[in-house]
Amino acid sequence: MPDPTPQPLDRLAERGRDDAPALVLRERTLTHAELRKRVGLLAGWLAGRVPAGARVASWAAKGELTCLLPLAAARAGVVHVPINPLLKRAQVAHIVADSGAVLLIGTRARLATLEDADLPPACSPIDEADVFALAEAQGDHAGPSAHDPDALAAILYTSGSTGRPKGVMLSHANMWLGAVSVAHYLGMAEDDVTLAVLPLSFDYGQSQLLSTWYAGGCVVPLDYLFPRDVAKACARHAVTTLAAVPPLWLQLTDVEWPAEAIGSMRRLTNSGGALTLDLVRDLRGMFPQSQLFPMYGLTEAFRSTYLDPVLVDTHPTSMGRAIPFAEILVMADDGSLAGPGQEGELVHCGPLVAQGYWQDAERTAERFKPAPAMSEYGGTAVWSGDRVLRDADGLLHFVGRRDAMIKSAGNRISPQEIESAAVASGLVAEAVALGVQDERLGDAIHLVVRPAVGSDDPESGLRKALQKELPNFMQPHVIHWRDTLPLNPNGKLDRTAIATEIGA
């Protein structure tokens, strides 16, 4: 078991050997010594610009700033709020207002899409291209901090089944121990090179950075346009570690991989959805010398389980066992501990459990509850809402989700966000968004709507309205038009009947 003692998150910058590469950017490569200097410079600027505990949001593609902000904000004693660069202005405005961010650092093009009322008066937008120049002009450098590991370090926004995104509060300890845990069970070392293709606004995306730097390794951030770009980057940089979600893995198995990329790859990791049997077979065939790590996690507890690569061929559909620092219980509906083969709710206990939802006591109370009496950790546990079972060998297996979330292309999507945008267009009177199982996406988004009375050409207009208001990953793959939608005995839309009708 690795060292369970948490540290301030910014201490991850101190782990690597001075002359070893730490971050490969388009124009240059930072060594770990240079990484430390740049983190210190950015932290000094933040500390001089905003008060301790303030929230600082970032809305930009992968680059030096977005990669260093998790550590620099932690060192400055401020709270980082990374925003998915794919989100549109309405979602960004909600996150900025909800978090109370006093700075929004973004690319000029993204900031230009915001309307006058989108940012609160207390929030200042800053072009990311200007940040390091401002920091150098100020000239303050912050050294390693001595912050309380239990202090809030970041707020990661994740979609909820009942509405707009909610902010998950992560402490220094949550993120530090998450990095330690992942680096340990993946067996990462200082000569590892991680290709960071996942968005840095997700816990899985942040882990690409933090676990690699804990091990003293190197990160290559990549915003790719085509799957072949990933394969080429793996060959060019001798990548040893690649993390992805099932839809991306499907795309990557359809492209030709250079021999150099296959030869350097030590490990492949998957989360954000289960791997199919066919996908496991294809990945094992393409990368016979690489370890494949299927994993399960939730933002509210970072990561919960992984399957040992030696078991992938014999147990390809299993979620595996708890990662270091996690205790995973399967609780039956009567509150008892579920026995082997008995379905129950996955409950995550231990120091990786987040601090709850930002300024949302009601939803926090629904998911974050006292740990069951049989827990070895005690304290607060997160009740995932996911149904699982543990087999006779102690391996966990996913059964299904209890909530209405749509899991498409690795993204957790709130049906209500899509439905609200559809109704707000004025073209439809009622809308129901559902996920329909899809081999490549996990869930394909189907939107069932009833047109509004008197709406003019609603079918073409609705697509345009949704493209304006919602990011690409929230766009419906299929829109079903109905003259009437079924109601349940309570007079509400009968989502179960609608789902049955479209095969969801």
Edge-first strand order for the sheet with 124-127 is: 124-127, 103-106, 55-59, 79-82, 152-160, 163-171
In this model, does residue 390 exceed pLDDT 80?
yes
CA separation, residue 447 to residues 122, 422, 424, 471 (Å): 37, 9, 14, 15
| Banded model confidence at residue 401, pLDDT cuts 50, 70, 90 | low
Task: Please report which helix (H) or strand (E) contains residue 429, including its range.
Answer: strand 428-438
> Is residue 276 located within the same domain as residue 412?
no
The verdict on residue 384 lying in a domain is no
Task: Please report which helix (H) or strand (E) contains residue 369, including its range.
Answer: strand 368-370
The verdict on residue 312 lying in a domain is yes
| Banded model confidence at residue 391, pLDDT cuts 50, 70, 90 | very high
Residue 222: the pLDDT is: 97
> Is residue 146 located within the same domain as residue 278?
yes
| Bridge-based pairing state of the strands 103-106 and 152-160 | unpaired
> Is residue 291 located within the same domain as residue 423?
no
The verdict on residue 335 lying in a domain is no
| 80 beta partners | 56, 154
> Is residue 304 located within the same domain as residue 447?
no
> Is residue 164 located within the same domain as residue 270?
yes
Average pLDDT, the chain: 93
In this model, does residue 504 exceed pLDDT 80?
no
pTM equals 0.86
The distance of Cα 148 from the centroid of its chain, to the nearest Å, equals 25
CATH number assigned to the domain comprising residue 493: 3.30.300.30
> Is residue 317 located within the same domain as residue 411?
no
> Please, are residues 46 and 74 in contact by the beta-carbon 8 Å criterion?
no
Residues 6+ apart with CB under 8 A from 229: 222
Residues 6+ apart with CB under 8 A from 55: 78, 79, 80, 81, 99, 100, 101, 102, 155
> Is residue 310 located within the same domain as residue 419?
no
> Is residue 417 located within the same domain as residue 270?
no
Which of 4-18, 209-223, 457-471 has the least mean pLDDT?
457-471
Helix and strand numbers, DSSP H then E, in the chain? 15, 25
Percentage of the chain beyond pLDDT 90 is 78
At 482 the three-state DSSP class reads coil
The verdict on residue 12 lying in a domain is no
The verdict on residue 11 lying in a domain is no
> Is residue 64 located within the same domain as residue 206?
yes
Number of domains in the chain: 2
The verdict on residue 431 lying in a domain is yes
The verdict on residue 220 lying in a domain is yes
Percentage of the chain beyond pLDDT 70 is 97
> Please, are residues 380 and 368 in contact by the beta-carbon 8 Å criterion?
yes
CATH number assigned to the domain comprising residue 43: 3.40.50.12780
> Is residue 132 located within the same domain as residue 272?
yes
Residue 207: the pLDDT is: 95
In this model, does residue 64 exceed pLDDT 90?
yes
Of 296, 323, 350, the last residue of a domain is 323
Nearest residue to 329 via CA among 274, 374, 367, 379: 374
Residue 192: the pLDDT is: 98
Q: Which residues of 5-29 are buried (b: 16+ CB within 10 A; e: fewer)?
A: ebbbbbbbbebbeeeebbbbeeeee
Q: Is the dihedral of CA 181, 74, 349, 292 positive or negative?
A: negative
* More confident of the two residues 401 and 214: 214
* Residue whose structure tokens are 């009708």: 501
The verdict on residue 355 lying in a domain is no
> Is residue 34 located within the same domain as residue 164?
yes
Residue 492: the pLDDT is: 61
Residue 489: the pLDDT is: 54
Residue 402: the pLDDT is: 64
Of 275, 306, 323, the last residue of a domain is 323
| Banded model confidence at residue 270, pLDDT cuts 50, 70, 90 | very high
Which domain range does residue 46 map to? 19-172+191-323
| pLDDT tens for each residue of 304-342 | 999 999 999 999 989 999 999 999 999 999 999 999 999
Which of 249-263, 460-474, 482-496 has the least mean pLDDT?
482-496
Residue 461 corresponds to which tokens in the numbers above? 């207009």
Of 323, 342, 366, the last residue of a domain is 323
* pLDDT (average), residues 455-463: 82
In this model, does residue 163 exceed pLDDT 80?
no
> Is residue 313 located within the same domain as residue 430?
no
Residue 488: the pLDDT is: 64
Q: How many CB atoms lie within 10 A of CB 53?
A: 10
CA separation, residue 177 to residues 4, 208, 216, 298 (Å): 7, 14, 15, 15
In this model, does residue 284 exceed pLDDT 80?
yes
> Please, are residues 84 and 199 in contact by the beta-carbon 8 Å criterion?
yes
Nearest residue to 131 via CA among 148, 155, 108: 108
| pLDDT tens for each residue of 119-157 | 999 999 999 999 999 999 999 999 999 999 999 999 999
In this model, does residue 160 exceed pLDDT 60?
no
